Chains A and B, each alone.
Chain A
Amino acid sequence: MNRMQNFKNGLIKDNPVFGLYLGLCSTLAITTSLNNAIGMGVAVIAVLILSNVIISAIRKIVPDDIRIPVYIVIIATLVKIIQMLIQAYAPALNSSLGVFIPLIVVNCIILGRAEAFASKNGIFDSALDGLGMGLGYLLAVLAMSFIRQLLATGALSMTNPFDESQVLFHLQLIPEDFTISMFSAPLGAFMTFAFLAAALSSYKQHIQRKEDEAAKAAKIAAAQAAKAAKEAA
């Protein structure tokens, strides 16, 4: 139950991008197409799960004073492996993501989860947390790139990342004369991000208010019940 809650928190409530505002640099830069978003999201999930597992496994033998350099070495090694794999098997993705693949090393989500969760919890929990947070990141970049690609090019398209000539789907939803090219620029990235973050924040407020009201109602009901019991006595 608690594990499930942890996993779900990463997806919506504590979404790393829109809830905790971590890893924004890559989010803003690469969300111009669904292809980039999925490539980046999968790379981050892989690094996050592996780094969480390794850091959780060695958490008892790492001295507290030098834990950050140790984490960084582990994360950098994993990122380099992922980068080499992408270079070898998906060269098109590598060229379109460019410098943002090596920059996963300094993505705050990964070091943040290592520091906040993996260094204190068991291996399985850490892996689950990594998966939840990674999926949260993937969801966030997908949402942003969905909006940006749709508004900027009028189409939603995806190609097979391992073979770019193979088009999975291409839907021209908005005629080309009616696209808003601003959304492919950084300006559009910031605007999309702001609106999605605001939407999540208002959703969280809404839930919080509901919970508060329910707690208040329960309190009043309990007080009344106590009063009634007293009177009856």
Chain B
Amino acid sequence: MKFAFHVSPNLQSKHSTQMIMRDLTIGLLIVFAASVIYYFAAWGPAYGMQAIILLLCSLVTTFVCEAVFAKVKKQDIKSVITHSFGWVTSIILVMMCPISITPYAVIVATFFAIAIGRLVFGGFGYNIFNPAAVGRAVIFASFSGVTTNLVTSATPTGVLASTFSWMPGTEAALQSFLDYCGGWGGLLLGTYPGAIGETFSLLILLVGAFLIVRNVIDWRIPTFYLGTIFVITFVIAILEGIEPYHGIPGWLWYPALHLLTGGVIFGGVFMLTDPVTAPTVPSGRIFFAMCAAALTVLIRLKGNLPEGCLYSILIMNTFTPMIESALDLPQLAQMKKAWIMIACAGVLSLCVSFYAATTVKRVNAPRNLEKTALVMPSAVEEVL
């Protein structure tokens, strides 16, 4: 008679880690391929090739790091590489970088993401922080000024942060911003200089929905993350009295602006849902996502930084073990405690909106924004 030994719970699941990671990889590659096609079609071959070169650099660095580490620890190199899923980290990392970044910056960031974000903690499954977010933070700390000559203009989030302090209050101000990044359609399709993965917000949502159906990612995290951002910015728009834009009331377009810029959709779908760094308790995940949303808006409006999403993910990752231990209770007690925690997160989010709305001044005057790099043909000629 043969006994099967499993770690409890002993319910057999069809979802092995390999399958989950395979689906996630396919989803990421679809979004990445769409971005590459977009860059090839709209900006020219130099841009498309740049995206592919960045991905290759990142992948090679990942494999080299893991191979060296396995060699030092005297493990089987092949099994370490296939069981640590480093390529998922590299793909996410490259998709968070702007196309203008140098391959060297990507290599260094990947090294930090894999070797320091993951391997020194004990490898896949033991990392505290989302490794891709660690890599992106390294780029922010070290290479924010270093770019190639491919794209030279500021990203929409950078413009929003620096000239509008995330609060364009009137129709004219919004119009000048939308002219800069190609209107609402441009924001939705990502036809603006930004991270590679931000390109198709719509496609990311579709892939996310597909991954949710395949049970690869938890629907709670993206839903509550994006939902909370919507609610917070909705309250802010009402409190600030943001003016309507061509008939669209301010409380509708202002949240939409927050959701469509700065990779919150990408972060909510692919990064907050990382099974290693997010809590395992479903109710804890809701709390986790709501707090991350409150932090995102707070960092955007009060810190006046373009990358609220990234830092909120890193900060909330540190709280994951605390959320886990707080909810490590019998079922009924856990539900009760979870409700209290989620209510607290809701109150916190409202506090954030009141605080931001009362202290941030809205910008009413339209700004004259230079559209240098968006004149695509000349930019491409310069490169070639």
Residues of A within 8 A of B (CB): 177-178, 180-182, 185, 187, 191
Q: How many residues of B contact A (CB 8 A)?
A: 9
Question: B116 and A181: CB pair below 8 A?
Answer: no
Expressed in whole angstroms, the Cα–Cα distance for A181 and B138 within the complex equals 10
Interface residues of B, dominant DSSP: helix
Check: B326 CB closer than 8 A to any chain A CB: no
Task: List chain A residues, Cβ under 8 A from B70.
Answer: none
Expressed in whole angstroms, the Cα–Cα distance for A138 and B143 within the complex equals 31
Task: Specify the chain A residue showing the minimal Cβ separation from B141.
Answer: A182
Interface centre among A181, A185, A191, by most chain B C-beta atoms within 10 angstroms, is: A181
Question: A191 and B142: CB pair below 8 A?
Answer: no
Task: List chain B residues, Cβ under 8 A from A185.
Answer: 141
Question: A182 and B138: CB pair below 8 A?
Answer: yes
Q: How far is the CB of B230 from chain A (nearest CB, A)?
A: 33
Interface residues of A, dominant DSSP: helix
Question: A178 and B141: CB pair below 8 A?
Answer: no
Interface centre among B102, B108, B116, B142, by most chain A C-beta atoms within 10 angstroms, is: B142
Question: A187 and B141: CB pair below 8 A?
Answer: yes
Question: B142 and A181: CB pair below 8 A?
Answer: yes
Task: Specify the chain B residue showing the minimal Cβ separation from A185.
Answer: B141
Check: B335 CB closer than 8 A to any chain A CB: no
Task: List chain A residues, Cβ under 8 A from B42.
Answer: none
Cβ-defined partner of A180 (8 Å) among B102, B108, B116: B108
Q: How far is the CB of A58 from chain B (nearest CB, A)?
A: 47
Given A180-B142, A187-B141, list of 8 further CB < 8 A pairs? A177-B102, A177-B104, A177-B146, A180-B143, A181-B141, A181-B142, A182-B142, A191-B116
Question: A178 and B104: CB pair below 8 A?
Answer: yes
Q: How far is the CB of B281 from chain A (nearest CB, A)?
A: 31
Task: Specify the chain B residue showing the minimal Cβ separation from A177.
Answer: B146
> Which 10 pairs across A and B sit closest by C-beta, in order of nearness?
A182-B142, A182-B141, A180-B142, A181-B142, A178-B104, A180-B108, A187-B141, A182-B138, A185-B141, A177-B146
Expressed in whole angstroms, the Cα–Cα distance for A182 and B102 within the complex equals 16
Q: How far is the CB of A157 from chain B (nearest CB, A)?
A: 20
A-B pairs with beta carbons under 8 Å apart, 16 shown: A177-B102, A177-B104, A177-B146, A178-B104, A180-B108, A180-B142, A180-B143, A181-B141, A181-B142, A181-B143, A182-B138, A182-B141, A182-B142, A185-B141, A187-B141, A191-B116
Task: List chain B residues, Cβ under 8 A from A182.
Answer: 138, 141-142
